[in-house]
Structures are given as C-alpha cells and as structure tokens.
Amino acid sequence: MSIFIDHATRLVVQGITGRDGSFHAKQMMAYGTKVVAGVTPGKGGQRFEDTVPVFNTVAEAVHETKANAAVIYVPAAVAASAIFEAADAGLGLIVCITEGIPVLDMTRALPYVHERGSRLIGPNCPGLISPGRSKVGIIPGNICEPGKIGVVSRSGTLTYEIIHQLSTNGLGQSTCVGIGGDPLIGTNFVHCLTAFEADPETAAIVMIGEIGGTDEQQAAEFVKESVKKPVVGFIAGQTAPPGRRMGHAGAIISGSSGTAAEKMTALANAGISVMKRPADVVPLLKERL
Amino acid sequence: MNLHEYQARDILRRHGIPVPPGEVASTAAEARAIAERLGGKVVVKAQVHAGGRGKAGGVKLAKTAAEAETHAKAILGMTIKGLTVQKVLIAPAAEIASESYVGIIVDRASQRPVLMVSPAGGIDIEEVAATTPEKIHRLAIDPRYGLLQHQALALGFQLYSDVKQARAAADIMQKLYTAVYAVGASLAEINPLVTTPDGTVQALDAKIAIDDSELERRPEIAALRDVSAEAAAEVAAREAGLTFIKLEGDVGCCVNGAGLAMATMDLVKYYGGEPANFLDIGGSSNPQKVVAALRIITSDPNVKSILFNIFGGITRGDDVANGIVQATKAFPLRVPIVIRLTGTNEKEGIAILERAGFAAVSDMDDAVKQAVAKAKGKAA
C-alpha cells in the first residue's frame, strides 16, 4: 500500500505538449507511471511520444482512457480553470504543480473540487511519489527508495534534501507528498497524516513545515489525539524576518503569528520529535522506530 | 505588493465608497496648491509602506496652506522605518464623531475571504485582536454568492445603532468585497471608517495589498508599483526572476527552492553564522539567473563569503555551474565561495566547476560549516 497513488493510478497530463508538461510526462513514464492520456486544447488526435493519446478536453480523455487522476502543468493564468475542468470530469485525484495561481481563484476552485469529492494536491507543489510504484509530479525518482517512511512537506527541494538523507541511510519511503507552498491548498498536513496513519505499510511519518499560517499547529493537535505512529518534524524559516514573503506565497510571518518557534513548540508539545536541521531526520527516526 | 494610501483611496472611490477629497503631492509647492484648493484645515500624510507614520512624525495637521507647505517640506525626504518619503497626501482635516474598522482578508484556515469589522477603529487591528478580541466581529464569505445584503447589514449594526449609518456601512462592506475581487487584493482595510458630526459614514484611511500572482493579468494594477519604496537589490532581483530578501548577516546565500533556502539560512545560524540574505533562484535553471544572483549578492558590502546550495530537480547542476563560471568572468567575486551541488546533472556541473578551478561539496552541513568559517576569516 501507499497513500493517494499506486499501480492502479491512471494519469492524464494537462498541458502535456508544453515545455514543463512534456519534460515531466516523459520522466513519469520512464519511472513507470501509467500516463494514459494528455490534454492540450487544439492538439486533440495527436500522440505524445508516439504512444500517449492527446485530447482537447479532460472529459474526452477520461471517457476514452478511464483515467482516474490528473496532473496540471499549465501556466498560472489558466491553472484554476484546469482544476475546475479536472474536477468536472470526475477525477478523484488532481495534482496541481503550477506556481503563482492567484489566491482569489483558489477561493472559488477549492469548494468546487471538494463538492465533487475530488482530492486536490497543491497548487505550487512538487506532487507525490510512491517509490517503485508511481510518481505524479516532479519529485526526482532517483533519490527515492521504496520503504516504510511517509513524508509530507510544504516545500519542494527541501523535501528532496530530506528524502536524500533517508534513502542514503537505508530508510525508504512509502509515499512522499508535497502539499504546496501556497496559502490556500487542497490537501493539508492533517489529511496526509490521516492517510499515513491508516496505511499499513507506513511505519513512521516525517512532516516538513515552514513559517506562515497555522496548519502545522493543527497537525500537532491531530497527532496528539489521533496518530499512534512516530512522527518527526522540521520547520523551515527560523531566521526569517516577520512580514516578508519567503519565496512561497504562504511563507510569511504575519504580526507575531506563524513563526518557526511557535510551530516547533506546538510540534514538541504533541510528542513529535523536532529536528534542528535536516540532517537530524535519520537519527531521530531511528530513536523512534 | 502594497499600495500607498492615496492609491487605495482611489480604488475605493472608483468602487463607489465615499472617501473624503484629497490629492497627492511630490513637492511642498504642490502641497500648498492642493491645500489652497481644498481650503480650511488639512492633514499632510507621508505616503510610505510602513505603519506608525503618525508616531514617526509623518502625519501633521495644518491650519493654513502656508503651514501645509511647511509640513510637506519637513515630511518629504523624511525616513520612516528605513523608507524615504517621496509623496504626501493632502486631505481636509475631517471632524470625526466615531472611528471603526472594516477589513477583508483571505483567511487560510477557512479558505475564504473573511470580513472583519470592529467598533474599535483607528488603531492597529492586531492590537485590538490582542487586547479586546470581543470587539472584532468576523464573517467568512461564500465566494459563490458574495457578501449578502443581510450579512453586511448585521455587521453594520455591530458598528452603528442608527439604521441609516448601519445601511451605509453595509453598502461600503459590499463595495469593498467587490473591490477585493476586482483588483486582486489579498487584504483591503478601511481604518478608520468614520462618522462625521452630520452623520455621514466615510472611509478616512485605506490599506490595500495586492496578491503578487494577480499582477500579470492586471497591468493597470501592476503599474501602481512604486519601486522607490523598495530596496534597489530587491527590485533588481525581481526583474531577473529571483526572490531576494536582504538580511543583516555576512554569509551570502544562493539556493534553489524557497524551503531549502530558508533551511539553509537556518543552518548558517545553527553553525554560528548569520545569513546575509534569502535568495531563491527558482525552479527552472538558467545560467543568466545565476549570474544575476551573484551580482546582487556580491554588491552587498557586508557579504564575506558566498554559499551555493543546489539540490537539482528541475534545476540542473550544469546550468548552475555554467552560471557561476560566467559570472566570475564578468566581475570579481571579491569573497570566497563554497558550492554545494547535488541532484540532476551533478557530475556535469562538478566537472564544469573543476575545469574553472572551483571545488564542489556534496553535503549540505559541510558546505554551510565551510561558508560560515570563511565569513569569519578562518580556513575551513
């Protein structure tokens, strides 16, 4: 088992003929992901890499190929529209990689997705990977190893750093999920912790948060109440100044709330082992396993 | 992107919200001319992206046009929280009967726009939240239907017992909500919303922040950007497609990805150093971005060592290495550089660096320790 994606995932790539979409579609296919369709309006009828059929709409792609998940690589200006379209086509999982979607667009897209029972991961995220089974998004497959650690993170490259530490020390991963660095996202820490807690193949969980918002504090409360598996946590941004957006749209200390110190305390109070630096992940996990 | 008060007032006025008259001046003479046109007492208000303008001496009352000129002369060029005042707003000094607060933010927890009103206006809403939270009334708005009339009116009655004033406030709230979606605001505040002695409800001061992701599709809003209100290095970084925030330390950081960039700064501190900046070169790598990043980092006189931390995903190690080599041909680095390179095209990148006489480190902790030691003038 794994969470959210596995061998049964049949993926449609929205924006498959674009620069990023085509590059990553090839990477996902090479990794073994079942890429069953692509969508680019106006390019319906073509084949991507001579194999994957391209459609004008997501609905056609789903009808023809029985796709059950979508990944979105389209530009920010049309990305919210791509999310609406994927939800309308009845896809259960929608992963949006695109960065820079206006937050007001997301205030409309999120209820639309939730009402249709879809799960959105992202936006502004690296996607997810269940090592050896399927990858949806852009996480480099070569740094991951199959195993029992579940990883959930608001970041991209920082997640790669942590995965790299795990893999080179013999700790493989069940699933690694990048939930995204935006203030409004479809899947949060609590959703992922719930899924990892229920997944028999996950033995321990690593959560990587950052400054801004209160998602980590809510996750800490949830861990205290409902998670029996060991959890190890990291918070980026201990040296971030207040009031400045640290790259991610959601990484901002507003007034005195959302600081790294406040989040690290919340995690520690919930019995989560808190890393001081990324390299602490392996020793802390080994203590708890 | 934060707007100035005068820009925010213009947006409110265009959406039909009653705003007292007022004009912006860049010189003392202009300030005088505006004060003469307005007649009577005026306020001269510094237009900078900083709170606490009044305390800093950036807001002054003038009884005559000549006095407005004197105050404008003093305020223009003044520095408030590190920002130089380039413009002043001249507005009539309103007689105020009451002050309240009306604001809309996009709330992360409810994932909706949230309207907040408080009869405790004229002070920072964070202060109200900390001291008298019961005075703040909140409503999460369903964006499918917008702010409904009865919802706005109920909040209007939280501010005013008079039905006319409650209706006027409700109308302002609905117009403010429309304005938020029309301009792509992540925050819009009227503080204070005042009543005058004759009972009129007006927006006296306004603050609007625009979501940076909205600017591409709203060129008319993007044109409101005041680059003189920002640090030159941050403007240069934005134009090069980089995210850069200057800090006070001496280890210049260049990283791919925001989370890793923050974690790198934190690790610099962990090993006893101080980061000079946050700098994210972004996902897709381009040697030119690396050159621009190095130019910005080396132009900070505080920087005593440079630390690259690259974990290649979409970013390719060879692109970053090429950028570093190109930069060193274009201008001197002046200080030692430590390069950590791993991930996509790591081998190609390291080979390029070695041919140019640089060494690369593969471990993040090792690289940070070396960069901190070099900033302190020690051999690593």
> Which residues on B lie below 8 Å from A107 (Cβ)?
106, 111-113, 143
**CATH, domain A10-121, list 3.40.50.150, 3.40.640.10, 3.40.50.720, 3.90.320.10:** 3.40.50.720
A184/B106 CB distance under 8 A: yes
**CATH, domain A139-288, list 1.10.606.20, 3.40.50.261, 2.60.40.1840, 3.20.20.10:** 3.40.50.261
What are the tens digits of pLDDT across the range B119-130? 999 888 888 888
Give the contacts of B56 (CB within 8 A, at least 6 positions apart): B46, B50, B78, B80, B81
A238/B109 CB distance under 8 A: no
CB atoms within 10 A of CB B293: 30
CB-defined contacts A:B, below 8 A? 163
B365/A279 CB distance under 8 A: yes
Element containing residue B43 per DSSP (H, E): strand B42-46
Put simply, whether A213 touches B (Cβ < 8 Å) is: yes
CA closest to B267 among chain A residues? A277
- The amino acid present at A159, given as its one-letter code, is T
B313/A139 CB distance under 8 A: yes
pTM: 0.93
Give the contacts of B76 (CB within 8 A, at least 6 positions apart): B26, B27, B28, B85, B86, B87, B88
Does this chain's domain A10-121 share its CATH topology with A139-288? yes
Complex-level ipTM? 0.94
Nearest to B283 by CA among A71, A157, A108: A157
How far CA B171 is from CA of B113, B189, B262, in Å, comes to: 17, 15, 43
> Which residues on B lie below 8 Å from A153 (Cβ)?
259
Q: In the structure, what pLDDT confidence band is assigned to residue B229 with cuts at 50, 70 and 90? A: confident
> Which residues on B lie below 8 Å from A241 (Cβ)?
245, 247
How far, in Å, CA of A158 to CA of A231, rounded?
18
B213/A100 CB distance under 8 A: yes
Which of A140, A155, A250 is facing B257, going by the closest CB pair?
A155
3-class SS of residue B100: strand
| pLDDT of res. B284 | 64
Rounded to 10°, the helix B346-355/B317-330 angle is 20
Q: In the structure, what pLDDT confidence band is assigned to residue B82 with cuts at 50, 70 and 90? A: confident
Concatenate the DSSP letters of all residues of A76-107 into one string. Answer: HHHHHHHHHHHHHTT-SEEEE------HHHHH
| pLDDT of res. B211 | 95
Rounded to 10°, the helix B65-75/B28-38 angle is 150
∠ CA A4-B344-A286, rounded to 5°:
55
Q: What are the extents of the domains in chain A?
A: 10-121, 139-288
Phi first, then psi: give them for residue A211, nearest 5 degrees: -60, 160
Which of A140, A184, A255 is facing B313, going by the closest CB pair?
A140
Put simply, whether A243 touches B (Cβ < 8 Å) is: no
What are the tens digits of pLDDT across the range A24-38? 999 999 999 999 999
Active site residues of B: 101, 189
What are the tens digits of pLDDT across the range B138-164? 999 999 999 999 999 999 999 999 999
What are the tens digits of pLDDT across the range A190-231? 999 999 999 999 999 999 999 999 999 999 999 999 999 999
| pLDDT of res. B285 | 67
Give the contacts of A84 (CB within 8 A, at least 6 positions apart): A109, A112
Please check whether residue B308 is in contact with residue B340, taking contact to mean a CB–CB distance below 8 angstroms.
Answer: yes
Active site residue A248: yes
Tokens 């940070």 map to which residue?
B368
Q: Which domains does chain B have, with CATH numbers?
A: 22-92 (3.30.1490.20), 98-222 (3.30.470.20), 232-375 (3.40.50.261)
| pLDDT of res. B125 | 85
What are the tens digits of pLDDT across the range A92-142? 999 999 999 999 999 999 999 999 999 999 999 999 999 999 999 999 999
Phi first, then psi: give them for residue A170, nearest 5 degrees: 80, 15
A214/B247 CB distance under 8 A: no
